[in-house]
Structure 1
């Protein structure tokens, strides 16, 4: 058996390639939208992609199952669990087998048994793998999707918070409790291969280790230690991070079917004049991907900065709208990776990509100012200022400046911050406040300043006094 995992560090998402080397067949589990690397690895190993499957209708990235079915003719094994609201709507004309709890299928000499594991979502399933080709008569591991992570379990509140499915958080938490009881009955030696690692918003305390075992999780995963159902429900729903607004779009897209990308769909390169023309359209958002230290003094009026790093996809999902045309400013060598990152959460309305050199052709810039902690605190005492904390709810609850008003970064474009004052922005370390400052400038706020080092630097200075 061949086993490969692929990790998207911007989505903290795992895709798995499993192949039977005796028959040359292979299956992709929870495929991302970008499938080229997987196809190349399979080809290099002498395998033919014959199937793809997914553990549930994903809410945090675009699934590549449909792309694989259209481009490579693979057979799809899709969940038939859940009610009519959680059925796939794009399967007509494709080779699809719907599976339920107890269903079995094989890829060459590798067997998969389906286990219905609702909780994160009603249709969630897991796959228990047995390598019969290797002589095994007992299973090796379980692909747990967003059911069991290393050190955590999937959150059940996304449907309610992001997709507007009222009342599903509590019922999902109770489903999760029952699913965990079944998980505990599995052999301790089974490997656990989750769909996400640390950094994913699909849980609140995911570990960074890529895999685990059933026995280890039974001993050390917090969710396995609570035997009372109500206590479990209360703990699972407590302190979950904000549900990114783009999750609702992802759930819909993966249900009705993502757009199939074509290699001929190329994003054109833009000149400075092209960008100027695009900015005249109120329905165009220009995203500057340069580091904030470069963008803060040379920000093109009307644009926002979201530096291209591990957080880029997340904050793009929060701050961009699906009904907007998007223009990207970035390094030429980052173009392909940036476009791929945006496509991974279905931002397909990218009308052009401009190199960072275009910034030099602007005579005026929408600069915001960076203040030291001491300067920031002095400004915060003035009646002419309005202090904004853009951190999440948990961070805010753990402590904040007395003068601060809470405006979470992900919702800053819909802000009600007064425009007649100097706006002082801070976060935990300085990165998010820089993004927020650029957004406020794009919205017409004239005097915006943010704190270098954020609340963390403030606490360190207070400790040293």
Structure 2
């Protein structure tokens, strides 16, 4: 049996390729939309991808299940659990609890593990050439290394009302009735790692075991004493901010992510082409450089979205393709980097990329306005905006600051004043550059606090 993990550092998301060497068949679980790596591995191993599936209706990225099925002719499987409100809206084979997919000697068995979402499945993998019992679990957003999938995303991102409490109860029962019934040796491969907003304390290791989590996870003591209320309280406390684009991901993944098909190489654009598209507002320029370089001078009207490392995450914060039909023009040092950036963008459903430019010399320039912390008190502004996470804000903020996470700002414009000046800050300036540029593009006047919160703290110390 071949089990290969593909990990996206940007979204802290894992997908899995499982293949039977004897029969040359493979399945991919929780694929992303840029599928070339799965195809390359299949070709290298002399395998055919005959099945694709996913653990649940994802919120943090746009699923590549349909993309990969279209490219390979593989059969698509999705969850049929969760009730009428949580059914997928596209044609696929439905998996119910204990249904199986067979690939040569390998059996993939679905287990219904609701809690993170009502329809959530985990997959037990049995290598029949070696054992008659499952040795591996692909746990999706059910069990992570050291943590559990948050049950409040339906409230935060999908318009639910107090679904978190029912989700927490479901999660408690899923642990009791499925996870803790497995032998200690079963290896667990989760759908996310450290940095994901799908939980609050995910471990950075790629896998764990049932026995290790049973002995060490924070939740184990509540299961041991059957304390569901204590479990619920700790589970729901201090969950990270849910990114606003998660709602769009949920809808698109439920209905079926658009199939892109083979993509043509991105074209390098010259300055005149870029100027024309910007003037016509058929495109928006994305400055992918570090925020400090952006602050030294960028293109007029640019969105500051640093990349490629976290381009998908930050682009999800700073651009909404459902409300904005403009294509993106990205700054890239060359064709390979531009393609890498497009791969990150399509993972969050930003598909319209007009091309790239590698020289900003002949484009209209703009210097983002900043105010130094020592001048803040006498600087006229309508609101001081803290765009860090809520937990950061609660741990300490500049007196008088209003909180609005950078990941939500573009979707909560009605909470901001329509006139006057907004002064914004994060911890170091990176997240703030994303939020500030998005708000400027939406018509607001935004001045960034030099050095952000760290700069303000340093100024206090120096006084």
Q: What's the TM-score, normalizing by structure 2? A: 0.91
Which of 400, 403, 407 is matched with 2:397 structurally?
400
Query: What secondary structure does 1:270 align onto?
Result: coil
> Which residue does the alignment assign to 2:184?
188
Which of 160, 163, 167 is matched with 1:165 structurally?
160
Q: Is the 8 A contact 1:142 1:190 kept in 2?
A: yes
Judged with a 3 Å threshold, the aligned counterparts in structure 2 of structure 1 residues 461 and 420 are, in CA distance, closer, same or farther, namely closer
Number of matched pairs:
451
Deviation at 1:341, TM superposition (A): 0.8
> Which residue does the alignment assign to 2:79?
79
Query: What secondary structure does 2:50 align onto?
Result: strand
CA separation in 2, counterparts of 1:189 and 1:254?
33
> Which residue does the alignment assign to 2:8?
8
Runs of 4 or more, structure 1, over 6 Å off, are none
> Which residue does the alignment assign to 1:455?
453
Q: Is the 8 A contact 2:318 2:434 kept in 1?
A: no
CA separation in 1, counterparts of 2:128 and 2:7?
27
Output the aligned Cα RMSD: 2.3
CA separation in 2, counterparts of 1:266 and 1:22?
36
Deviations 1:138-192 (A, max 9, x none): 2211110100001111111111211112232221111111111121221111100
Query: What secondary structure does 2:37 align onto?
Result: helix
Point out the more displaced range, 121-130 or 255-264: 255-264
Alignment of 1:360-399 (within 5 A): 360-369=361-370, 375-376=372-373, 378-382=374-378, 384-385=380-381, 386-399=383-396
CA separation in 2, counterparts of 1:69 and 1:185?
33
CA separation in 2, counterparts of 1:343 and 1:208?
25
Judged with a 3 Å threshold, the aligned counterparts in structure 2 of structure 1 residues 447 and 208 are, in CA distance, closer, same or farther, namely closer
CA separation in 1, counterparts of 2:449 and 2:7?
34
Q: Is the 8 A contact 1:368 1:441 kept in 2?
A: no
Point out the more displaced range, 284-293 or 70-79: 284-293
Alignment of 1:63-462 (within 5 A): 63-91=63-91, 96-134=92-130, 136-182=131-177, 183-226=179-222, 227-265=226-264, 267-281=266-280, 284-322=283-321, 323-324=323-324, 325-331=326-332, 332=334, 333-350=336-353, 352-357=354-359, 359-369=360-370, 375-376=372-373, 378-382=374-378, 384-385=380-381, 386-413=383-410, 414=413, 416-417=416-417, 419-421=419-421, 423-443=422-442, 448-452=447-451, 454-456=452-454, 458-459=456-457
Q: Is the 8 A contact 1:389 1:427 kept in 2?
A: yes
Q: Is the 8 A contact 1:440 1:448 kept in 2?
A: no
Query: What secondary structure does 1:98 align onto?
Result: strand
Q: Is the 8 A contact 2:308 2:341 kept in 1?
A: no
> Which residue does the alignment assign to 1:46?
46
Deviation at 1:217, TM superposition (A): 0.9
Deviations 1:284-333 (A, max 9, x none): 54321122222223222222211104332112112211231132221124
Q: Is the 8 A contact 1:117 1:125 kept in 2?
A: yes
CA separation in 1, counterparts of 2:151 and 2:231?
12
> Can you give the 5+ residue segments of structure 2 that lack an aligned partner in the other structure?
none
Q: Is the 8 A contact 1:433 1:451 kept in 2?
A: no
Judged with a 3 Å threshold, the aligned counterparts in structure 2 of structure 1 residues 270 and 110 are, in CA distance, closer, same or farther, namely same
Deviations 1:321-372 (A, max 9, x none): 123113222112421011111111111233x123131x22135424333x6x
Judged with a 3 Å threshold, the aligned counterparts in structure 2 of structure 1 residues 420 and 250 are, in CA distance, closer, same or farther, namely closer
Q: Is the 8 A contact 1:366 1:441 kept in 2?
A: no
Point out the more displaced range, 244-253 or 207-216: 244-253
Deviations 1:12-38 (A, max 9, x none): 111111111111111111111111111
Judged with a 3 Å threshold, the aligned counterparts in structure 2 of structure 1 residues 311 and 148 are, in CA distance, closer, same or farther, namely same
Judged with a 3 Å threshold, the aligned counterparts in structure 2 of structure 1 residues 363 and 243 are, in CA distance, closer, same or farther, namely closer
CA separation in 2, counterparts of 1:411 and 1:57?
21
Deviations 1:239-296 (A, max 9, x none): 1122112212212212221111122555544333333333345675432112222222
Deviation at 1:456, TM superposition (A): 3.9
> Can you give the 5+ residue segments of structure 1 that lack an aligned partner in the other structure?
none
CA separation in 2, counterparts of 1:279 and 1:173?
48
